[in-house]
Amino acid sequence: MVGQYLEFERPIVELENRLEELRRRSEVEEGDFSKEIEKLEKKIETIKREVYGNLNRWQITQLARHPDRPYTLDYVKMIFSDFIEIHGDRLFRDDPSIVAGFGEIEGRKVVLVGQQKGRTTKDKLYRNFGMPHPEGYRKALRAMKLAEKFSLPVLTFVDTPGAYPGIGAEERGQAEAIARNIMEMAGLKTPIVVAIIGEGGSGGALALGVGDRILMMEYAIYSVISPEGCASILWKDAGKGETAAEIMKISARDLEKFGIVDVVVEEPEGGAHRNPEAAAENLKREILSALDELEGMKIEEIVNKRYEKYRKIGEFKGGGK
Amino acid sequence: MALFKKKEKKKGNRKVTVPENLWIKCDNCREIIYRREVERNLKVCPKCNYHFRITVDERISSLIDEGTFEEFDADLESVDILGFVDTKKYTDRLAEAKRKSKRNEAVVTGRGKINGMDVVIAVFDFAFLGGSMGCVVGEKVTRAIEEATRREVPLIIVSASGGARMQEGTLSLMQMAKTSAAMKRFHDAGLPYISILTDPTTGGVAASFAMQGDVIISEPGALIGFAGPRVIEQTIMQKLPEGFQRAEFLLEKGMVDMIVPRTEMKETVSKLLGYMYRGEKKRASGKNG
């Protein structure tokens, strides 16, 4: 096993270390280790299936936030044959926690917008941990308006803990920026495909998240508030994130059931970071299929169907509907 | 978002809680004031202009011509989709809020007249689970917006909310998209929407229809923002300056158009609509000719 592992992966890691040790010994020592190796390999397969086949929502949350998980620009590199980034909201500054630009997938030209997290400490700070300021959302909208103007479909990658809760963000109208994006995306006269690739943190995610087809990576999460935030409000204890993740039902499979997500994109065993190329391949396939479906439709029909899609989300009683 | 639990605690010391007494103490200036006078003044302190929180009925009667209000969708009720239990069951919280407010949900919608002009109005009840938006609130607001679009009349929303309702999970978040989609169509129809922000308007309500007004008016002193002050303080690890996220601060930063005291709200809205709205018939003939 490579890279960093999570607490619930410990039994797997221990066995894998033993296997490695055994293999090393088989090279230098006399004797036949092959039976033992085979037995251990089988055991690892079984335990992997057990662990990864029964992930609870808190474990999924940890995978969604895994430090090795592919981010927006990683997917761009793996999926796009070309990408030209554009910068700035023309009002205040460029916000590096959102990337936007023109790109090409299998000969299809799109406008891409996505939140971007950083990998190294320096990069994390530069990307503000993927938490956009209003100017980030305004840049995103500018890019989407370009897409509308030039009849290009919009593709968004959602991966944010949330919109940044800070002084400057509030001063410059975080609420207004998000509200505007949501409203404009609802009426944008070009197809929109949304992919939730990691963390879908509340309004800050939805500000890039209104579209015609909502894809969601198998181990991504999408919630109204972070599990920790929910826990600190309900039990005054951010440590109860695990319980909160369970009751809020924030996994891709949950949201597919609620009709919020259209397609759950399968991830390699153990998560996208275990095999980023395979994850990217799956994502690419679903993006292309969504673009294909939308390509044949008239734009009025697309926008009307988008309206209907959101119009019917919600459960209640009474009112004859 | 969904910070109503915190806010709920605050509510207690803000409400006018002594209706039997002839005199009450203002929560802001601590002056002893004559209760009748405060009530005549739409629950605004005559000494310091502090705006007490008011009920939905008081709000409606302060804006809508007497006897003209007709409520929409009062029978819509929330369901416990997630089976949500924290320190209490969601169903118990709902039952309690219903019993206290004698209404089914945190928003009341309907139509009425403002100085004779037909409008559709939605008024939030912060006392009902912090005015939080779940599926029913989202549905009622959406229906109100659609009704205003259909009738070709102006729309007024008086917001007071901690944001999206945690107990309905991501479905609550989606109500921001649902209401905003309806709002887009309303705006595209060329109709006027006046958003009135009252204390407090934060989270998912601020980050959707509350900030989508053609004109945005705030009551004095109202707390308005995306993130709640406590969340910001925890993030930046320092105390926020006095007056941060208050209406006056937002006016200075260019986020609201004006601050209007409650006592002048109806006349201001009425005047504004006079500029923004020429009535259904004229608008229609304008379109054709």
- pLDDT tens, B59-96? 999 999 999 999 999 999 999 999 999 889 999 999 99
Of A165, A209, A313, which has the smallest distance from its Cβ to B227's Cβ? A165
Tell me: the pLDDT tens digits for B241-263? 999 999 999 999 999 999 999 99
AA letter at B83: G
Q: What is the pLDDT of residue B12?
A: 46
Residues of B in contact with A229 (CB under 8 A): 2, 231
CA distance A257 to chain B (A): 11
Tell me: the pLDDT tens digits for B168-225? 999 999 999 999 999 999 999 999 999 999 999 999 999 999 999 999 999 999 999 9
Q: What is the pLDDT of residue B9?
A: 47
Is A319 in Cβ contact with B139 (below 8 Å)?
A: yes
Beta bridge partners of A114: A99, A157
What is the biggest distance separating any 2 CA atoms in chain B, rounded to whole angstroms?
62
Of A165, A172, A187, which has the smallest distance from its Cβ to B184's Cβ? A187
Q: What is the pLDDT of residue B284?
A: 47
* B146: nearest Cα among B173, B183, B92: B183
Tell me: the pLDDT tens digits for B50-61? 999 999 999 999
CA distance B30 to chain A (A): 30
pLDDT of chain A along its 321 residues, tens only? 456 889 999 999 999 999 999 999 988 888 888 899 999 999 999 999 999 999 999 999 999 999 999 999 999 999 999 999 999 999 999 999 999 999 999 999 999 999 999 999 999 999 999 999 999 999 999 999 999 999 999 999 999 999 999 999 999 999 999 999 999 999 999 999 999 999 999 999 999 999 999 999 999 999 999 999 999 888 888 889 999 999 999 999 999 999 999 999 999 999 999 999 999 999 999 999 999 999 999 999 999 999 999 999 999 999 864
Q: Is the pLDDT of residue B18 over 70?
A: no
Confidence band, pLDDT 50/70/90 cuts, at residue B287? very low
Residues of B in contact with A316 (CB under 8 A): 76-79, 135-136, 139
CA distance B155 to chain A (A): 16
Of A203, A234, A255, which has the smallest distance from its Cβ to B204's Cβ? A203
Is A224 in Cβ contact with B175 (below 8 Å)?
A: no
Q: Is the pLDDT of residue B7 over 80?
A: no
Q: What is the mean pLDDT of residues B11-38?
A: 77
Residue A49 CA from chain centroid, whole number: 23
Q: What is the pLDDT of residue A175?
A: 98
Residues of A in contact with B79 (CB under 8 A): 315-317
What residue of B is the nearest CA neighbor of A307?
Answer: B181
Of A224, A247, A317, which has the smallest distance from its Cβ to B1's Cβ? A224
The answer to whether B35 and B46 have CB atoms below 8 angstroms apart is no
Confidence band, pLDDT 50/70/90 cuts, at residue B10? very low
* Rounded to 5°, angle at Cα A70 from A290 and A239: 110
Of A172, A187, A249, which has the smallest distance from its Cβ to B82's Cβ? A249
* B52: nearest Cα among B229, B195, B199, B244: B199
The answer to whether B101 and B57 have CB atoms below 8 angstroms apart is no
How far is Cα B190 from Cα A112, in angstroms, rounded to an integer? 31
The answer to whether A169 and A95 have CB atoms below 8 angstroms apart is no
How far is Cα A167 from Cα A46, in angstroms, rounded to an integer? 50
The answer to whether B77 and B105 have CB atoms below 8 angstroms apart is yes
What residue of B is the nearest CA neighbor of A178?
Answer: B207
